[in-house]
DNA sequence: AGAATGATCCTCT
DNA sequence: GAGGATCATTCTC
Protein backbone atom coordinates (compact mmCIF):
# COMPACT_ATOMS: atom_id res chain seq x y z
CA UNK A 1 0.00 0.00 0.00
CA UNK A 2 1.02 3.61 -0.36
CA UNK A 3 2.87 5.27 2.48
CA UNK A 4 0.50 5.39 5.41
CA UNK A 5 -1.08 8.70 6.36
CA UNK A 6 -0.02 7.83 9.87
CA UNK A 7 3.45 9.14 9.00
CA UNK A 8 2.10 12.69 8.69
CA UNK A 9 2.79 15.24 11.45
CA UNK A 10 0.89 14.43 14.63
CA UNK A 11 -1.73 17.17 14.41
CA UNK A 12 -2.49 16.23 10.81
CA UNK A 13 -2.89 12.60 11.83
CA UNK A 14 -5.25 13.66 14.61
CA UNK A 15 -7.39 15.49 12.03
CA UNK A 16 -7.14 12.81 9.36
CA UNK A 17 -8.18 10.06 11.77
CA UNK A 18 -11.63 11.61 12.10
CA UNK A 19 -13.84 9.60 9.78
CA UNK A 20 -11.36 6.73 9.50
CA UNK A 21 -12.50 3.23 10.36
CA UNK A 22 -11.06 1.32 13.28
CA UNK A 23 -11.37 -2.45 12.81
CA UNK A 24 -10.69 -5.29 15.25
CA UNK A 25 -10.95 -8.84 13.98
CA UNK A 26 -11.55 -10.93 17.08
CA UNK A 27 -12.19 -14.66 17.48
CA UNK A 28 -15.80 -13.86 18.30
CA UNK A 29 -16.39 -11.56 15.36
CA UNK A 30 -15.42 -8.45 13.48
CA UNK A 31 -15.82 -5.16 15.31
CA UNK A 32 -15.52 -1.79 13.66
CA UNK A 33 -16.37 1.84 14.14
CA UNK A 34 -15.85 5.25 12.67
CA UNK A 35 -13.43 7.44 14.60
CA UNK A 36 -15.19 10.64 15.67
CA UNK A 37 -12.91 12.15 18.35
CA UNK A 38 -9.12 12.31 18.81
CA UNK A 39 -6.47 14.08 20.86
CA UNK A 40 -2.84 14.75 19.94
CA UNK A 41 0.04 14.36 22.39
CA UNK A 42 3.41 15.57 21.19
CA UNK A 43 6.58 15.76 23.23
CA UNK A 44 8.64 17.90 23.67
CA UNK A 45 6.61 21.01 24.43
CA UNK A 46 3.54 19.18 25.71
CA UNK A 47 3.65 18.53 29.45
CA UNK A 48 0.54 16.38 29.25
CA UNK A 49 2.29 13.88 27.01
CA UNK A 50 3.31 10.70 28.82
CA UNK A 51 6.80 11.07 27.39
CA UNK A 52 7.45 14.63 28.44
CA UNK A 53 10.05 13.56 30.97
CA UNK A 54 11.66 10.94 28.80
CA UNK A 55 11.41 7.29 27.94
CA UNK A 56 10.12 4.73 30.45
CA UNK A 57 9.06 1.10 30.08
CA UNK A 58 5.43 2.16 29.76
CA UNK A 59 5.82 4.82 27.06
CA UNK A 60 8.56 3.05 25.10
CA UNK A 61 6.26 2.41 22.11
CA UNK A 62 5.73 6.16 21.69
CA UNK A 63 9.40 6.52 20.81
CA UNK A 64 9.18 3.88 18.10
CA UNK A 65 8.02 4.08 14.49
CA UNK A 66 4.64 5.59 13.59
CA UNK A 67 1.53 3.58 12.89
CA UNK A 68 1.69 1.35 15.92
CA UNK A 69 -0.71 1.01 18.82
CA UNK A 70 0.20 2.46 22.21
CA UNK A 71 -2.15 0.86 24.71
CA UNK A 72 -1.91 1.56 28.42
CA UNK A 73 -4.05 1.40 31.54
CA UNK A 74 -5.51 4.53 33.07
CA UNK A 75 -6.77 4.75 36.65
CA UNK A 76 -5.83 1.13 37.11
CA UNK A 77 -8.77 -0.21 35.14
CA UNK A 78 -9.36 1.49 31.78
CA UNK A 79 -7.41 0.77 28.61
CA UNK A 80 -6.55 3.67 26.31
CA UNK A 81 -5.79 3.29 22.61
CA UNK A 82 -3.31 5.63 20.94
CA UNK A 83 -1.84 5.77 17.45
CA UNK A 84 1.91 6.38 17.55
CA UNK A 85 3.09 9.18 15.26
CA UNK A 86 6.35 10.84 14.18
CA UNK A 87 9.69 9.28 13.31
CA UNK A 88 11.51 7.01 15.77
CA UNK A 89 13.02 9.05 18.57
CA UNK A 90 10.16 11.56 18.65
CA UNK A 91 7.59 10.66 21.30
CA UNK A 92 4.09 11.42 20.03
CA UNK A 93 0.72 9.78 19.69
CA UNK A 94 -2.96 10.41 19.00
CA UNK A 95 -5.50 9.19 21.55
CA UNK A 96 -8.68 7.74 20.09
CA UNK A 97 -11.38 9.18 22.34
CA UNK A 98 -14.59 8.02 20.67
CA UNK A 99 -15.92 5.97 17.79
CA UNK A 100 -19.32 5.42 16.20
CA UNK A 101 -20.11 1.68 16.13
CA UNK A 102 -20.48 0.22 12.64
CA UNK A 103 -20.10 -3.56 12.80
CA UNK A 104 -20.61 -5.87 15.77
CA UNK A 105 -22.44 -3.47 18.03
CA UNK A 106 -24.16 -6.34 19.86
CA UNK A 107 -20.79 -7.89 20.65
CA UNK A 108 -19.57 -4.46 21.72
CA UNK A 109 -22.51 -4.20 24.08
CA UNK A 110 -21.71 -7.64 25.46
CA UNK A 111 -18.09 -6.62 25.97
CA UNK A 112 -19.37 -3.61 27.90
CA UNK A 113 -21.63 -5.76 30.04
CA UNK A 114 -24.78 -4.38 28.45
CA UNK A 115 -27.83 -5.97 26.92
CA UNK A 116 -27.86 -6.20 23.11
CA UNK A 117 -28.91 -2.98 21.42
CA UNK A 118 -32.57 -3.16 20.54
CA UNK A 119 -33.31 -5.73 23.21
CA UNK A 120 -35.42 -4.25 25.96
CA UNK A 121 -35.15 -7.20 28.31
CA UNK A 122 -34.64 -6.12 31.88
CA UNK A 123 -32.97 -9.18 33.31
CA UNK A 124 -31.25 -7.05 35.90
CA UNK A 125 -27.81 -8.13 34.74
CA UNK A 126 -25.46 -5.32 33.90
CA UNK A 127 -26.12 -1.68 33.87
CA UNK A 128 -28.44 0.06 31.43
CA UNK A 129 -26.97 3.15 29.84
CA UNK A 130 -28.95 6.31 30.33
CA UNK A 131 -28.35 7.04 26.66
CA UNK A 132 -28.20 4.38 23.93
CA UNK A 133 -24.95 5.83 22.64
CA UNK A 134 -22.96 5.24 25.82
CA UNK A 135 -21.31 2.32 24.04
CA UNK A 136 -18.11 3.83 22.65
CA UNK A 137 -18.19 7.53 23.58
CA UNK A 138 -15.00 7.65 25.63
CA UNK A 139 -11.49 6.23 25.41
CA UNK A 140 -12.02 3.60 28.10
CA UNK A 141 -15.44 2.65 26.85
CA UNK A 142 -14.38 2.16 23.26
CA UNK A 143 -11.47 -0.07 24.28
CA UNK A 144 -13.78 -2.21 26.40
CA UNK A 145 -16.33 -2.40 23.58
CA UNK A 146 -13.72 -3.19 20.93
CA UNK A 147 -11.95 -5.78 23.08
CA UNK A 148 -8.69 -3.84 23.08
CA UNK A 149 -6.21 -4.69 25.83
CA UNK A 150 -2.53 -4.62 26.67
CA UNK A 151 -1.76 -7.52 24.33
CA UNK A 152 -2.19 -5.12 21.40
CA UNK A 153 0.40 -2.65 22.69
CA UNK A 154 3.05 -2.12 20.01
CA UNK A 155 1.18 -3.85 17.20
CA UNK A 156 1.05 -2.52 13.64
CA UNK A 157 -2.17 -0.59 13.02
CA UNK A 158 -2.02 -1.09 9.25
CA UNK A 159 -2.76 -4.83 9.44
CA UNK A 160 -5.03 -7.22 11.34
CA UNK A 161 -6.07 -7.97 13.92
CA UNK A 162 -6.35 -4.29 14.83
CA UNK A 163 -6.09 -1.82 11.98
CA UNK A 164 -7.23 1.54 10.64
CA UNK A 165 -8.75 2.19 7.21
CA UNK A 166 -8.24 5.80 6.09
CA UNK A 167 -11.23 8.02 5.40
CA UNK A 168 -11.58 9.01 1.77
CA UNK A 169 -14.32 11.44 0.95
CA UNK A 170 -15.47 14.99 1.23
CA UNK A 171 -14.00 17.17 3.96
CA UNK A 172 -15.80 16.58 7.25
CA UNK A 173 -16.95 19.37 9.59
CA UNK A 174 -14.44 19.25 12.42
CA UNK A 175 -14.33 21.08 15.73
CA UNK A 176 -10.93 21.86 17.23
CA UNK A 177 -10.71 22.49 20.97
CA UNK A 178 -8.81 21.69 24.16
CA UNK A 179 -8.17 18.26 25.56
CA UNK A 180 -10.09 16.45 28.30
CA UNK A 181 -9.06 15.12 31.68
CA UNK A 182 -5.54 16.50 31.87
CA UNK A 183 -3.92 18.94 34.30
CA UNK A 184 -0.91 20.13 32.32
CA UNK A 185 -0.76 22.02 29.02
CA UNK A 186 -4.54 22.33 29.23
CA UNK A 187 -4.55 25.30 26.86
CA UNK A 188 -3.32 23.44 23.79
CA UNK A 189 -6.17 23.08 21.25
CA UNK A 190 -5.24 19.58 20.27
CA UNK A 191 -8.60 17.80 20.43
CA UNK A 192 -10.63 17.22 17.30
CA UNK A 193 -14.12 15.87 16.86
CA UNK A 194 -16.78 15.39 14.23
CA UNK A 195 -19.34 18.15 14.53
CA UNK A 196 -22.83 16.94 15.28
CA UNK A 197 -21.88 13.32 15.93
CA UNK A 198 -23.76 11.67 18.79
CA UNK A 199 -20.84 9.55 19.95
CA UNK A 200 -18.50 12.44 20.73
CA UNK A 201 -17.70 12.21 24.45
CA UNK A 202 -17.73 15.91 25.35
CA UNK A 203 -18.90 18.79 23.17
CA UNK A 204 -17.47 22.29 23.35
CA UNK A 205 -20.34 24.55 22.33
CA UNK A 206 -18.23 27.68 22.61
CA UNK A 207 -15.73 26.31 20.12
CA UNK A 208 -18.57 25.16 17.90
CA UNK A 209 -20.03 28.66 17.77
CA UNK A 210 -16.63 30.24 17.14
CA UNK A 211 -15.93 27.79 14.36
CA UNK A 212 -19.42 27.91 12.92
CA UNK A 213 -18.33 28.62 9.38
CA UNK A 214 -15.00 26.85 9.40
CA UNK A 215 -14.60 23.49 7.76
CA UNK A 216 -11.77 21.26 8.87
C1' DA B 1 9.58 0.90 50.45
C1' DG B 2 6.08 4.24 50.45
C1' DA B 3 3.35 7.85 48.41
C1' DA B 4 1.27 10.36 44.82
C1' DT B 5 -0.78 10.58 40.50
C1' DG B 6 -3.79 9.77 36.92
C1' DA B 7 -5.19 11.06 28.66
C1' DT B 8 -11.77 7.43 33.22
C1' DC B 9 -16.20 5.47 34.31
C1' DC B 10 -20.17 4.86 37.04
C1' DT B 11 -23.51 6.04 40.65
C1' DC B 12 -25.97 8.99 43.29
C1' DT B 13 -27.85 13.59 44.59
C1' DG C 1 -21.99 18.19 39.72
C1' DA C 2 -19.35 15.42 43.01
C1' DG C 3 -17.11 11.45 44.80
C1' DG C 4 -15.58 6.59 44.95
C1' DA C 5 -13.51 2.66 42.55
C1' DT C 6 -8.99 0.66 41.82
C1' DC C 7 -4.06 -0.24 40.55
C1' DA C 8 -0.05 0.30 37.26
C1' DT C 9 3.39 3.44 36.89
C1' DT C 10 6.40 6.84 38.43
C1' DC C 11 8.68 9.73 41.60
C1' DT C 12 10.83 10.47 46.06
C1' DC C 13 13.14 9.23 50.12
Question: pLDDT (tens digit, 9 = 90+) per residue, A127-144?
Answer: 444 446 689 999 999 999
Rounded CA gap, A170 and A51, in Å?
35
Phi, psi dihedral angles at A11 (to 5 degrees):
-65, -30
Distance CA A53, CA A137 (A): 30
Question: Which pLDDT value is given to residue A119?
Answer: 60
What SS3 string covers A136-169?
CCCHHHHHHHHCCCHHHCCCECCCCCEEEECCCC
| Shortest CA to C1' contact from A58: nucleotide | C9
Tell me what the mean pLDDT of segment A180-207 comes to.
Answer: 96
Q: Name the nucleotide nearest A136; use CA and C1'.
A: B9
Q: What is the pLDDT of residues A101-122, one digit of tens each?
A: 999 999 999 999 888 876 644 4
Higher pLDDT, A45 or A125: A45
Residue A212, helix vs strand vs coil: coil
Q: Which residues sit close to strand C, CB under 7 Å?
A: A 53-54, 56-59, 72-73, 75-77
Q: What is the mean pLDDT of chain A?
A: 91
Protein-to-nucleotide distance from the CA of A75 to the C1' of B4, whole angstroms = 13
**Of A111-115, A152-156, A167-171, A198-202, which gets the smallest average pLDDT?**
A111-115
Which bases of chain B are contacted by protein, using any atom under 7 A from a CB? Answer: 5-11
pLDDT > 70 fraction of chain A, expressed in percent and rounded = 90
Q: Which nucleotide is nearest to A112 (CA to C1')?
A: B9
Q: Which nucleotide is nearest to A114 (CA to C1')?
A: B10
pTM, entire model: 0.93
**Average pLDDT in the A176-194 region?**
96
The gap between A25 CA and B3 C1' (Å) is 41
Q: Using the CB atom, is residue A48 less than 7 Å from strand B?
A: yes
Ranked by mean pLDDT, the top range of A1-10, A110-119, A123-132, A171-180 is A171-180
> How far is A206 from A195, CA to CA, in rounded Å?
13
Amino acid sequence: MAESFLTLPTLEVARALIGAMLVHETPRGRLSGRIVETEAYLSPGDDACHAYRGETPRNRVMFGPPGRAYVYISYGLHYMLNVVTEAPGVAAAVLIRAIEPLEGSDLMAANRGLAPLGAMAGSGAGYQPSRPHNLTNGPGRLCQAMGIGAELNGTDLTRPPLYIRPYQGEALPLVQTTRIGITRSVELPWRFYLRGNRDVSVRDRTAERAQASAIG
